[in-house]
Structure 1
Amino acid sequence: MGGQRQLGDFLQTRRARLRPEDVGLPDYGERRRVPGLRREELALLAGVSSSYYTRLEQGQSVGASPEVLDAIGRALRLDESELRHLHDLAGSAKRGAVTRRPPAEHVDASTLELLAALGDVPALVSGRRSDVLAWNPLGHALFAAHLDPDSPSSPADRPNLARLVFLDAHTRALYADWPAKARAVVRNLRMVAGRHPDDALLASLVGELSMRSPEFATMWADHSVRPCDSGVFEMHHPLVGTLTVTQQSLRPPGSEERLVVLATAAPGSSSQAALYLLAQATAAEVEAGSSAPAPNP
C-alpha cells in the first residue's frame, strides 16, 4: 500500500486540518492557497527544518527518529491513536515492506469457549482484516441473520464486516446512523493497514472497497484513524425492531490480531428486552433445527 506515500498523505491531511489560530500563529489576514498550516509553519512548531519536513512529507526521507516523530505529532496535535499510526507508517516506510499473502486466520479453543460462555450476549470474533472467524447464535442473529450461520467455519466463505457495512443492503439498513458506523469501520481499518502494510489480502480488500463504494473511497482518503474499541449504535432489526446497543471490542489474552465484539444494552431498557426476545427466538430456532429428523441415507 506504499509506505512512503501513506506516510506523506497522512502528514498532509493532518496538517491541512489545522489553522494558524489553532496553534497560536498569526495569519495577518492573508489569503491562503491551500487549507491548513504551511509546511514551514508546521516544521517551525515541530522544531525541525522546513526542508527536512518537506522531504519527509514527500516521501524522500524515511529515517525519522521516534523523537522527531513525537515532535511532529505534538505539532499536528495528534491523539494517541494517530500518533501510534504515524510511528507505524514511518516504520513501514523505512523497512520498505514487501506485500505478501498471509496464512488463513483461525480461532483457538479458549476463544471459542469464551464465545460459547457468552450465550446470552451477541458476540463474534473478528480477525485482522475484519473477517468473521466465529460467532455465537445470538451474534449471528443480531448482526447477520440473513447469512449462513456456518459461513465463518470456512475461510473462503467468511463474512467480512467491512464488506457487509459498505456493500450489503441488509447491514446498511441495520444501522440508523450508517455513516457513523461506516466511519468507525474505515478508521479502524486505516490503523490496521498502518501496522500491516505487507498484508496482500488487506490491500486487496481496501482496493475492492475503494472501487465498489465511492463512500468508502471518500472516507479512506481522509486518513482518519481510531480503533473500534467501543461505540453506541441504534439498530433497526427486522425481527425485534429498534434497539440501541453498545458494541465493544475486547482482545483475548495473547492475541494481537483477533477481537471479541460484544453487543450489550442498558439494564432494564427496551433494548435489553429486544435482545431477550431475539435470544428466545434464536434458541427456539436452534432447538427446532437440532430436533429435525436426519435425512434418509
Structure 2
Amino acid sequence: MDQRSELGEFLRTRRARLRPEDVGLPDYGGRRRVPGLRREELAQLAGVSAGYYTRLEQGQSANASDAVLDAVARVLRLDEVEQAHLHSLARHSPRTARRPRPERLRPSVKLMLDAFGDVPALVVGRRVDVLAWNRPAHALLAGHLPYEAPERPRQRPNIARLVFLDPHTRELYADWEGKARDTVADLRMTAAGFPDDPDFTELIGELTLKSPEFASLWAAHPVSKCIPPVRAFQHPLVGSMTLINELMELSHDPGQRMAVFTAEEGSPSAAALQLLANLSAAPRERPADADVLQP
C-alpha cells in the first residue's frame, strides 16, 4: 500500500469529523467547500505553516518531527491508538515491495495451542490468515471449512474474508456490523506495520471490490487495537453464546496473535461451549455419549 496516500487519507478523514466551533474557531456561516476543518485552520492551530501541513498531508514531509505530529494529533483530537497510527504512517518510507515468505507457526506455539483442550484457540498471522486452530475453534468459527485448511499456506482461511464474504460467518455473529467495524479497524492498524507487503495490498483490493460494506468502512479509515470484546454468537449447532475473546501477541513472532474464546463459568454459554467441544472432538477423543448429545 502507498503509505503517502494512506497518510493523506487518514488526516483528511480526521479533519472532516471536526467543525470550526469544536476547536474554538468562529463559524461565519455559509457553505464550506469541504467538510470539517480546512488545512489552513488546522495548520494555524498546530503552529505550522499551511504549506508545510499540505506537504505533510501529501506525504512529502518524511522528516516531520514528533513535536509537529503530536501538535497535529492534538488539534485533530486523536486518541492514543490513532496518534500512534499517525506516527507509524509518517515514518515509513516507500520501498520496493517484495512478496514475503508464507508465515510459519513455530512447533512450540502449536503445542501451546493444543494445550487449550476444550477451549477454542487459534493463531492468526499479520494479514489475519488462520495459521492454526484447535478443533473447538474450528467448530466455533468455521466448521463448514476443512479442519486442515490452515495447513495450505496459499489457501489459508482469512478472518477478514470470512467476515465480509462468507455467508456462514455473517450469520454466526449476532452483531455482525460491530464485528465488521472491529475487523476493519484492526486491519488498518496492522497494515500500517507492514506497508511493503503486496499480499496485504491484494487482500484489501479484493475485499474492496467484492464487498461494498468493506469498501465503505475502509474509506472511513478507522483504527483501533483489538481489545478483549464480549461477542454474541448464534451458532448453528449449539445456539446462542456470549463469549469473551482474548487476543495475545506472540512476542517472538511479529504480527502473529493468539485468540482464545471463553465463557463465564456456570453460564449457559459455558455449557454450550462445552457441548460444542464434545461435538468437535476427534473420533478417538470423543466421549462415548457425545453422539447422543443434542444442541
Question: Into which bin does the TM-score normalised by the smaller protein fall?
Answer: over 0.9
Q: Report the equivalent of 2:167.
A: 169
Q: Report the equivalent of 1:293.
A: none
Number of aligned pairs?
287
Q: Report the equivalent of 1:53.
A: 53
- Runs of 5+ in structure 2 lacking a partner? 287-295
How has the CA–CA distance of structure 1 residues 286 and 29 changed in structure 2, closer, same or farther, with 3 Å as cutoff? farther
In 1, distance between residues paired with 2:60 and 2:112?
A: 47
TM-score normalised over the length of structure 2: 0.93
Letter of the aligned partner of 1:37 in structure 2? L
Moved more, 111-120 or 123-132: 111-120
Letter of the aligned partner of 1:279 in structure 2? A
**Pairwise mapping of residues 35-184 of structure 1 onto structure 2 (< 5 A)?**
35-92=35-92, 95-184=93-182
Cα deviation, residue 285, structure 1: 4.5
8 Å Cα contact 2:231/2:243 also seen in 1 = yes
8 Å Cα contact 2:59/2:90 also seen in 1 = no
Letter of the aligned partner of 2:50 in structure 1? S
Q: Report the equivalent of 1:295.
A: none
Instruction: Say what the alpha-carbon RMSD is for the aligned residues.
Output: 1.6
In 1, distance between residues paired with 2:175 and 2:257?
A: 23
Cα deviation, residue 26, structure 1: 2.4
SS in structure 1 at match of 2:154: coil
Pair 1:13 & 2:27 matched: no
In 2, distance between residues paired with 1:250 and 1:224?
A: 21
In 2, distance between residues paired with 1:236 and 1:65?
A: 48
**Pairwise mapping of residues 266-281 of structure 1 onto structure 2 (< 5 A)?**
266-281=264-279
In 2, distance between residues paired with 1:226 and 1:98?
A: 27
SS in structure 2 at match of 1:287: coil
SS in structure 1 at match of 2:21: helix
SS in structure 1 at match of 2:241: strand
How has the CA–CA distance of structure 1 residues 26 and 285 changed in structure 2, closer, same or farther, with 3 Å as cutoff? farther
SS in structure 1 at match of 2:229: strand
In 1, distance between residues paired with 2:81 and 2:88?
A: 11
Cα deviation, residue 63, structure 1: 2.4
- Among 258, 263, 266, which residue is 1:265 paired with? 263
In 2, distance between residues paired with 1:27 and 1:255?
A: 50
In 2, distance between residues paired with 1:270 and 1:26?
A: 55
Pair 1:26 & 2:26 matched: yes
Cα deviation, residue 284, structure 1: 6.2
In 1, distance between residues paired with 2:37 and 2:155?
A: 46
8 Å Cα contact 2:3/2:195 also seen in 1 = yes
8 Å Cα contact 1:42/1:75 also seen in 2 = yes
Cα deviation, residue 267, structure 1: 2.0
SS in structure 1 at match of 2:54: helix
SS in structure 1 at match of 2:136: helix
Cα deviation, residue 146, structure 1: 0.6
Letter of the aligned partner of 1:172 in structure 2? R
Q: Which 4+ stretches in 1 moved above 3 angstroms?
A: 28-31, 284-288
How has the CA–CA distance of structure 1 residues 22 and 266 changed in structure 2, closer, same or farther, with 3 Å as cutoff? farther
In 2, distance between residues paired with 1:43 and 1:213?
A: 36
In 2, distance between residues paired with 1:21 and 1:110?
A: 55
SS in structure 2 at match of 1:141: helix
Q: Report the equivalent of 1:248.
A: 246
In 1, distance between residues paired with 2:188 and 2:85?
A: 8
In 2, distance between residues paired with 1:248 and 1:206?
A: 25
In 2, distance between residues paired with 1:47 and 1:147?
A: 55
SS in structure 2 at match of 1:124: strand
Cα deviation, residue 96, structure 1: 1.7
- Runs of 5+ in structure 1 lacking a partner? 289-297
How has the CA–CA distance of structure 1 residues 286 and 27 changed in structure 2, closer, same or farther, with 3 Å as cutoff? farther
TM-score normalised over the length of structure 1: 0.92
Deviation digits for residues 227-264 of structure 1, max 9, x if unmatched? 22322211110000011112121012323211001111
Pair 1:190 & 2:182 matched: no
